[in-house]
Chain A
């Protein structure tokens, strides 16, 4: 791939992200998933953990923020493909020469960046109403973890998108996909509380490594080697997700063309 092709691909990603952001800012459902839902979860968690010491506050802020991030990716990422299907633009996207993965990457990037607002909202809530100390122990490592989390979440969304592309009925399963990832990723409580057989599943999910890195660096409980392990896993899984999704996207696109599901009347 030459530099010109990379530049063109980056332009496609940026254009898809910009259009998604512009469409989302006027959508009430987006405001619910980004702001309201994480705040409700944060309030509940603060009350539940209130008696265990204020050091849990940053854990709750990050955990509830990540729930908003995952919900946004699952619902907004998935629904945006169905929305394009209903508005007749999905055919235009499929019928143009850029690979659909680039467009979905841009869409997911917009969703994930927007969803960082979930974390900010939880942070503001905890600071304003619970007077919780919100100290980030390792800010530099936390920042790097945050950037890697954005990239790995975007790639995680790439794996989900082809399923929505193939079949418009998949949205019925969205709710069933939401909570297992909350739990398996340890957003709000450690996965050690879950049965042992679920642990390998957690390891395959980039949100787990992202949550572990963010919790560890914010609370100052992670050693350097553990932080590096989390970063490595996020990078590795992002690469794996990217390759798998590219293949999956081609398979599902072909199936959508065979089943005539690119447009709904």
Chain B
């Protein structure tokens, strides 16, 4: 009996971008986007690649979809090497890179799909049946003949989903598919992704939304600065922070030096900061819970402090901890 092949097999994968900086004295600069990562995705699995912007998620997906060559290491998709056997992979996968690009705006949705169906060398009869089905599935049946240039971002994203499913691929790469969608559109798309997985497709999903990864993925690899810092089921990742409490403080105009001083406190695990108009939301992870509040308030003396909340950690807090407060 043959050994089952992983849908995706990545071993010590690395990608370095070379660029030139300077005008008169040009110097070569190297940026390591993906740094020695390894993971496997089993057939039928919905696997999440989670990390902040610039962590290396898209670069990883581009290597796996044969659009970018790895600098070193090995990646196999459906048993084929991404660098040397791209042709064997391309007709079996589908991919979405989030956003409004990647569509022919002057053509209608139907014409976009018809074009890609031709490129995927689909039988015209199958194409004629499949396009209305997919437009119905993504909720564009009544707008299919309109030019894409008149579509909202959400409609374009749904058209991307239809395009990706056109040739019925067994493996899907969804790179931040819900980015920029309104909450209802994002929820509908997440349901579509669940349905696709239930129908037996293998899916690699990248996102920087922790709740999305938690809601959809069976396993998650957290990636930061090109390296995988944790990989497990959402439940196990949550245990990373079960001994911590989260103190949320609303502050106004906190200087970076004060944030650095908070980070240096011995009982503080991580500090993340989110800018909200003129105020900031500080999230301090600490094992001392409510007991830490007086000390933290002391550190913020002289600053205007609004709401203070102490709460139990969530999976998002586990993620923040893993990426060192960069989320």
Tell me, yes or no, whether A binds B.
Answer: yes
Q: Which residues of A contact B (CB under 8 A)?
A: 8, 11-12, 14-16, 18-19, 22-23, 26, 87-89, 91-98, 103, 254, 257-258, 260, 262-263
Distance to closest chain B CB from A166 (angstroms): 14
B97 touches A88 (CB 8 A): yes
Distance to closest chain B CB from A66 (angstroms): 29
Query: A87-B101, A95-B90 are known contacts. Are A257 and B95 too (CB-CB below 8 A)?
Result: no
- Which residues 98-153 in B have Cβ within 8 Å of A in the complex? 99, 101-107, 111, 114-116, 118-121, 124
Which residues does chain B contribute within 8 Å of A92, judged by CB atoms?
A: 102, 116, 163
B119 touches A12 (CB 8 A): yes
Distance to closest chain B CB from A13 (angstroms): 9
Give CA–CA (A103, B95) in the complex, Å.
20
- Out of B69, B115, B120, B163, name the residue touching A258 (CB < 8 Å): B69
Distance to closest chain B CB from A152 (angstroms): 25
Q: Is B65 an interface residue (CB 8 A)?
A: yes
Which residues does chain B contribute within 8 Å of A15, judged by CB atoms?
A: 114-115, 118-119
B119 touches A88 (CB 8 A): no
Give CA–CA (A14, B117) in the complex, Å.
12
Nearest residue in A to B18 (C-beta to C-beta)?
A: A259
Query: A8-B121, A19-B107 are known contacts. Are A97 and B67 too (CB-CB below 8 A)?
Result: no
- Out of B66, B90, B97, B121, name the residue touching A12 (CB < 8 Å): B121
A98 touches B119 (CB 8 A): yes
Q: Which residues of B contact A (CB under 8 A)?
A: 17, 62, 65-69, 87, 90-91, 95, 97, 99, 101-107, 111, 114-116, 118-121, 124, 163
Give CA–CA (A257, B65) in the complex, Å.
11
Query: A94-B67, A95-B67 are known contacts. Are A89 and B103 too (CB-CB below 8 A)?
Result: yes
Query: A91-B102, A257-B68 are known contacts. Are A103 and B97 too (CB-CB below 8 A)?
Result: no
Which residues does chain B contribute within 8 Å of A14, judged by CB atoms?
A: 118
B111 touches A97 (CB 8 A): no
Give CA–CA (A130, B62) in the complex, Å.
58
Give CA–CA (A19, B119) in the complex, Å.
12
B101 touches A95 (CB 8 A): no
Task: Kindly list the 9 A-B residue pairs having the minimum CB-CB distance in the complex, ordered from nearest.
Answer: A88-B101, A15-B118, A97-B91, A88-B102, A8-B121, A97-B90, A257-B69, A96-B119, A258-B69
